[in-house]
Structure 1
Amino acid sequence: MIEEVRRRAYLAAMQVASWLPRVELPFAAPSRPELLQPLSAPEPEPAPAPEVVASVAKAVAEDAPAYQAPPAQAPVVPPATRPKIEVPRPAPQGRMAKTEAVEEATEAAVPAQPQPIAPPRFALQLLRAGACAVLVELPNGEPLQGRDPAYLLLKDLLRAAGLPDSPQLIGEPVRWPLLVRGQMDQGPEAARDFLQTFVGARLEEQAPCSCLWLVGLPAIRFAGEGDEQSYNRELQIEGLGAAWALPGLELLMDEPERKRSLWQAMQRVRQRWLNTSES
């Protein structure tokens, strides 16, 4: 009985409503005899009587209209394609034309607004080495330390030029833009005026200077009004006197081949401060 219950549960889960086994199943309920009988073929429908067929055909023939052929239609001739004529559009007139003319005149009359110039950024330190003053670019923005490679290179340059290799600091480093509040101009012109005024004031407080070293592009550009083409050349700066432009310390470390041309230029310029020291 348990097998039969389980079998019916399986059939219900598979949605099987009725089924017939091929063999006798153990523990199965007895089959119903009417389900085992073969299905009989369906009986054919009786053919209608000839009289009925004839009467139906006569009625259909009387009610159906006589067949008429559809009238012949004339062939459809497509209309002739007319050529497309482009008509030029007239220029705008009246108020629209006046508005466009006024807008064009306004655009031509109003000059383009100049783009604001970003303030330059640099850090410079003024030093004194014998008869020369040195305005040097600080590679990291911080004062030079005794173990810094840039400071060691500067000492080598001063020693090769016949100057003391332990320069003295003059004032605090100059960092631009200045960290001040308000609407102070921070552009290149303001930086140049401030730096030249600062260096001139500090040099007046010192002994007479034979030559001002400008070490690094910011020092050359904003104290000497030069550029990259001024490397290893002498400059004459109004209010500051004679100056000598040198590549930056970091640039000399990155490109050692520049030291050769620097040494050749030093041989020509060093007589300026050597003669001052001898006298």
Structure 2
Amino acid sequence: MSMTQALTRVGEIRTEISALQDPTAARGASSAGTSGTASGTGTASATDFASVLAAVGAGDAKGSSDLFGSLLSSLTGTGAGTGAGTGAAAGSLDLAGLFSSLAAGATSAGSATSTGAAAAATPAATTGATTGAAGKAGAILDTAKQYLGVPYVWGGESLAEGGLDCSGLVQLVFGAHGVDLPRVAKDQMRQGTEVASLAQAQPGDLIVQRGGKHIGIYLGDGQMIHAPKPGRTVEITPVTDASVTTIRRVLG
């Protein structure tokens, strides 16, 4: 490799080092760069750097000293001539090591960014699923509250019948959100999974009372919405563990 070729390749490598340190500056340097390069704008590497150094080492001692000085001057922009000698050679070797470190650092940073993005995506998906279940429960409760004040009618399962009974209210509200439940309380109390106590109950759970003769929807904070009995209307009332036969979770 001639001195001219070596210096040309060093110029390309210098541009690549700039790209690792400051991509914006590298683009500027590239636009103003050398159109007469022998090998184009291929990606530089520590191996390329080593090739230049090997070519220098193959020359005579005097030529090597001169060329090492020129290499150092080209890379650092400082004056370095024949007197640089062995010191310039050592400096060039250090720069080769620096180039390798920069290249490894860029690869490592890219890997870390990808890993970080993937890690961030996983909890986002899990949170989304949890929020979806809570959101559905909230929508169900909003629908149930629309029936507040509707009269209790035994066997009633729609407003067309003039009112609703307890299990009719539950079936109507959950059905509006795509959750199919049996018609009567004794069958509804067998749906989903059992919840041990009110302390573990969540909004949207079914509250079963009187051995399965009555049912309502848990609102949270120790309250339920239900159609209580003839002469009353759909209302919100307190609920305690002592009054509960079972609690059933029918939402995911």
Give the TM bin, normalised by the shorter chain. under 0.3
What TM-score results when the alignment is normalised by the length of structure 2? 0.20
Q: Which has the larger radius of gyration?
A: 1
